Structure 1
Amino acid sequence: MLRLAAASLAGTAVEFYDFFVYGTAAALVLGPLFFPTFSPLAGTLAAFGTFGAGFVARPLGSVLFGHIGDRRGRRPVLLVSLLLTGAATVAVGCLPTYGTIGTAAPVLLLVLRFLQGLGLGGEWGGAVLLATEHAPTGRRALWSSFPQVGPSLGFLLANGVMLGLSATLSDAQFASWGWRIPFWASGALAAAGLWLRRSVTESPLFLKIEDHARVPLAEVVRGHWRLVLLTAGALSVGYAVFYTVTTWSLAYATDRLGVSRTVMLVCVMATVVVQGVLTPLLALVGDRYGRRPLCLAGCAGMALWMFPMVALLSTGVPLLISLGFLEAMTAFITVFAVIAAYLPELYEPRVRCTGAAVGYNLGGVLGGALTPVVATALAEHGGRVPWGVGAYLTVLALLSLGCFALLPETRPLPVAVTEPAPG
């Protein structure tokens, strides 16, 4: 389990590094480089639009790789998805800007971002299913939380590289060539991830399935469509809060509040460190008390904290910004620490890779793809405090809370409870 957990964590860290480094670059530099004919606001919106294309691709990736995972096994998904995402990320770093090739530059940027999302859409399902289906029954949430730590590590790595470049390069150097370095680094990281995953064994539960689904997506749509919609709606606020904190806030604070890029990256990274540490601890709570109670508590926390968070952000004071982010991300990870166990347990094994991944990534479209664009537009028409952003996130939190309320608990009962009494 340790070897499998390490391989799952490393792979998700690499793939989310690729995904996050693009989001940070979109907030800081891609607008002027690829959309220079737009106004600063329109350029930022356009860059966030290409950012959103990755989320649109993720459900398609979950369908494609979910089909492979349900038909051919979970292990092939891990290898192919990592290779695809890594190649697309390196290609972004090699892409000429608008000043060199004109309108072809933003078009190619959009295509590469789409390929990134396609690979990431398959990654999550394969990684968490291998961890969940290898894990002992009473520790599924704990072992499946290791792939969930991967996004935190990927984010820290991506922003750590960006922070180092931001601190050592001038603005002109960073805009000219410095922003490309994090994308090029993905090649080495992907190679390391593939090396770690080479010895991962196939899921024992998959090997026991005798009647594999011929068209997993068709079975999911026919028999589990309500479950897919509920899980997508339930997860939407988590994505929205995460990308509000880690992506939109960078652009808002640097452009509107005059906070330095370096200070904002430090604030966000400190928050994500706490998130990574809390993930396995909260997963242990989920193994003991259930998945659904944590999800309900996390959504309630996000609903109550969104207005205070934007108020603290608008002060421009780093300590208060960090406090606002910390509370929001703690509520977020209370939900997402147990999701890697909860979603697979909701679906039968023969369509689990497709069903869990489609629900998870549709939540990304609802909450992650639109949030930076919507938040930017709402903040532009607001005052000093972007109350509209707080209202938008609060409504999403209440929607997610309602969806979780309609989902069943899945935590396995202790053996002493499920076995009949002797005699």
Structure 2
Amino acid sequence: MTAITADRALTRGDAKTLALASLGGALEFYDFIIYVFFAVVIGKLFFPPDMPVWLQLLQTYGIFAAGYLARPLGGIIMAHFGDKTGRKRMFTLSIFMMAVPTLLIGAMPTYATIGYAAPILLLIMRLFQGAAIGGEAPGAWVFVAEHVSDKRVGLACGLLTGGLTGGILLGSLMATAINAIYTPEEIAGFAWRIPFLIGGVFGFVAMYLRRWLHETPVFEALRARKALAADMPVKQVLRDHKPGVVISMLVTWMLTAAVVVVILSTPALMQQIHKVPALTTLIGSVAATLGITVAAILVGMLLDRFGALKVTLAGAPLLILTTYGLYIGTATHPENLITLYALAGTAAGIITVVPYVMVRSFPGTVRFTGVSFSYNVAYAIFGGLTPVAVSALVKFNNLGPAHYVAFSTVIGLSAVVWFANQKKN
């Protein structure tokens, strides 16, 4: 089951839990994503100055990708203890593991000071961040879903998902502000550190706020009945819940397409394909991220009323149509980019279906592990392959990114149909 009480009104305690969890998720995701906004500057500062620019960027983004590769291991380990000892402990640990390396990156010496130790330390910090984010999103979805009644799980997942995408929005706004206030020389000299130092402080604030959260009623009930997982949770998941794992991984593919392609990659793709000015794409990115943040919450409310299948049958085609509209419309009328991007970003709010389906695919005893394993392994695979696949498709067709989003969304829709049929039987 998902919650102790099948049907009850949202209490003040529930609202407080959802608000604090969503705020913490936003601040932690900001810490993880801010790196990408300053990748060019970091590449110049943390690698030898005589290294070719393309190699600097390759290694810088390679270190960024290392954070994604660390997600499955970190997520599985934290989920193991989350199912064994409690959700809250791991929920707090994940934000601590994110805040410390973020703060250290902001204070770290560069190549000019410590040589090759600089990129090595940077890599270590990113690995810790990756391990932290691997436990954060799955743990947060499970935490909020187990705190509310069964008929409020959609809202809980929507608020938390909106918090996570809100962290991307915070990173985008911070990067815009830094570039507006400081000159390129000042950014390279000291200003690039500001977002990381602020992010580290944000993390500790969020960790302090999470002290006021309570363990989930579902876990407390399992502990009281001595019904916690007796075996290794990941072993139980792979042995007894294979359909749940496959469904969760397939819907995560849809999520990675929506986030990685529509939200994160489109600015660079529009500059590359249609020569749209960088400032225009940045404004469009802010509009799209705001759209997905608001829509994620609204989709959560719709899930509670209509269920996963009906919402996905309506939302998946909308995501496909608006993504094609973004890429076709910008090709013919570049001045409409911001509006088209905002529409596509709003349609991407369908991603709230993903945590809603995942938390309902596993029993309470192994829910944290089931969600974490499925989500993080799928994100490592599809999130890592998506930029490569999209880049290859663009060489053959400028609509390649839209084709990829459409294909992944159809896969996700098929998985939701499978999930709905399982729940009927």
Q: Same fold (TM over 0.5)?
A: yes
Q: Which residue in 1 is equivalent to 2:4?
A: none
CA 1:298–1:125 in structure 2 vs 1: closer, same or farther (change >3 Å)?
A: same
CA 1:15–1:73 in structure 2 vs 1: closer, same or farther (change >3 Å)?
A: same
CA 1:217–1:267 in structure 2 vs 1: closer, same or farther (change >3 Å)?
A: same
Q: How far apart are the structure 2 equivalents of 1:109 and 1:257? A: 34
Asked whether the 8 Å contact 1:24–1:247 carries over to 2, the reply is no
CA 1:73–1:310 in structure 2 vs 1: closer, same or farther (change >3 Å)?
A: same
Q: How far apart are the structure 2 equivalents of 1:307 and 1:47? A: 31
Q: How far apart are the structure 2 equivalents of 1:368 and 1:91? A: 26
Which amino acid letter does the alignment assign opposite residue 367 of structure 1? F
Which amino acid letter does the alignment assign opposite residue 168 of structure 1? I
Q: How far apart are the structure 1 equivalents of 2:344 and 2:399? A: 16
Q: How far apart are the structure 2 equivalents of 1:115 and 1:388? A: 34
Q: Which residue in 2 is equivalent to 1:417?
A: none
Q: Which residue in 2 is equivalent to 1:415?
A: none
Which amino acid letter does the alignment assign opposite residue 265 of structure 2? W
* Aligned with 2:41 (options 29, 36, 41): 29
Asked whether the 8 Å contact 2:169–2:289 carries over to 1, the reply is yes
- Could you state the TM-score of these two structures normalised by the residue count of structure 1? 0.86
Moved more, 338-347 or 32-41: 32-41
Give unpaired runs (5+ residues) of structure 1.
Answer: 413-423
CA 1:10–1:272 in structure 2 vs 1: closer, same or farther (change >3 Å)?
A: same
Which amino acid letter does the alignment assign opposite residue 360 of structure 1? Y
Q: For residues 6-405 of structure 1, what are the structure 2 equivalents within 5 Å?
A: 6-26=19-39, 28-34=40-46, 39-209=52-222, 210-213=226-229, 214-253=231-270, 259-313=276-330, 317=334, 319-334=335-350, 336-376=351-391, 378-379=393-394, 381=395, 386-405=398-417
What percent identity do the matched residue pairs reach?
29
What SS does the corresponding residue of 1:406 show, helix, strand or coil? helix
Deviation at 1:19, TM superposition (A): 1.6
Which amino acid letter does the alignment assign opposite residue 363 of structure 1? A
Which amino acid letter does the alignment assign opposite residue 390 of structure 1? A
Aligned residues: 406
Which amino acid letter does the alignment assign opposite residue 357 of structure 2? Y
- Could you state the TM-score of these two structures normalised by the residue count of structure 2? 0.86
Give unpaired runs (5+ residues) of structure 2.
Answer: 1-13
Moved more, 353-362 or 324-333: 324-333
Deviation at 1:83, TM superposition (A): 0.3
Q: Which residue in 2 is equivalent to 1:416?
A: none
Deviation string, structure 1 residues 35-70 (Cα, Å, up to 9, x no partner): 565654554444333222222222222211111110
Which amino acid letter does the alignment assign opposite residue 301 of structure 2? L
Which amino acid letter does the alignment assign opposite residue 155 of structure 2? L
Asked whether the 8 Å contact 2:274–2:330 carries over to 1, the reply is no
Q: How far apart are the structure 1 equivalents of 2:273 and 2:110? A: 26
Which amino acid letter does the alignment assign opposite residue 283 of structure 2? V
Asked whether the 8 Å contact 2:141–2:157 carries over to 1, the reply is yes
Q: How far apart are the structure 1 equivalents of 2:304 and 2:147? A: 15
